[in-house]
A and B are shown apart, each in its own frame.
Chain A
Amino acid sequence: MIMHQQHRGAIIAPGVLLGIGLGGFADGIVLHQILQWHNMLSSTVPPVDLVSMKTNMLWDGLFHAFTWLMTVLGLALLWRARGGLDRAGNTHVFGGSLLLGWGLFNLVEGVIDHQILGLHHVHPGRDQLAWDLGFLAFGAFLAFTGWRLITAGAERALQSRREAKLAAYVR
């Protein structure tokens, strides 16, 4: 029987990908569709008539397709790592990775799409910069919390290994 030890990246990567996918879906479902604050290209192609709305709808669809691919990839990697999920500390590591992924999505999407390329803004209008900065701050908070959880999980795993080694030594 072939056996190997899984590295922590095998747990973090699927968690981050799933976090990115779920964060993207949250953005698309809540901000694009339910609240209708913005669409994917609403700053470059303002949705003022049916044709421009359909254009934005198509690009929203492509954005959702991207996030769907991320989610599928995350699930595939999670399936490969399933044997190591129940070890000490890995619940924290995986949960933290989900939060880290969502936070990274907000940070990268916020900086590139909102600030650099100006494809759209979170809530266009007079206070759009404040909304954009709030979006980034929320992302930074999620990423920081996720990173702390991953670190806590890693420490817990280390502690568990030390205890196991000590127990084996005593025996």
Chain B
Amino acid sequence: MSALSARAPTRAAPRILVCVLAPAFTLTILILERGAAFACPDCPPAVTARQIVFGEDFFRNLAAVSLPLVILCVITALLWRIGRREEPT
């Protein structure tokens, strides 16, 4: 058995897959948008981005765009669990 594999995969990994991605992503967008607005408040890209981020459809669109990827994270977490129940490699 290789010593390189000393660190066991933890139970936290599937939860991290599902729970961390979406909030971290939303926060990153907001930070980027605020950064762009701070750097150049009147530049057209910053104005457009601000209108999109603070528009009424933003979170609905964000949910729609992120839904498939959240589902894919859940499927990956399930595959992890199924693989754990099988014989070790």
Q: Which residues of A contact B (CB under 8 A)?
A: 1-13, 16-17, 20, 24, 40-41, 51, 54-55, 58-59, 62-63, 65-67, 69-70, 73, 77, 80-84, 87, 89-90, 93, 101, 104-105, 108-109, 112-113, 117, 119, 154, 157-158, 161
Instruction: Decide if B40 is an interface residue (CB 8 Å cutoff).
Output: no
A77 touches B13 (CB 8 A): yes
Does A1 contact B3, Cβ atoms closer than 8 Å? yes
> How far is the CB of B53 from the nearest CB of chain A, in Å?
8
Given contacts A16-B79, A69-B25, A73-B17, contact A7 B89 (CB under 8 A): yes
Q: How large is the interface on B (under 10, 10 to 19, 20 to 34, 35 or more residues)?
A: 35 or more
CA of A7 to CA of B13, assembled, Å: 14
Given that A11-B83, A108-B72 are known contacts, is A5 also in contact with B89, CB under 8 Å in the complex?
yes
A-B contact count (CB 8 A): 142
* Beyond A12-B79, A81-B5, 9 additional pairs, beta carbon < 8 A: A3-B1, A13-B13, A13-B80, A66-B25, A66-B66, A70-B72, A84-B2, A90-B89, A105-B72
Chain B's closest residue to A10 (CB) is B9
Q: How far is the CA of A13 from the CA of B62 in the complex (A)?
A: 25
CB-nearest residue of chain B to A16: B76
A sample of 29 cross-chain residue pairs with beta-carbon separation below 8 angstroms, ordered by A number, consists of: A2-B6, A3-B5, A4-B1, A6-B89, A7-B83, A7-B88, A9-B9, A13-B77, A16-B75, A16-B76, A24-B69, A54-B45, A54-B48, A58-B48, A58-B52, A66-B65, A69-B21, A69-B25, A70-B73, A77-B13, A82-B4, A83-B5, A87-B89, A90-B89, A101-B76, A105-B68, A108-B68, A112-B68, A154-B86
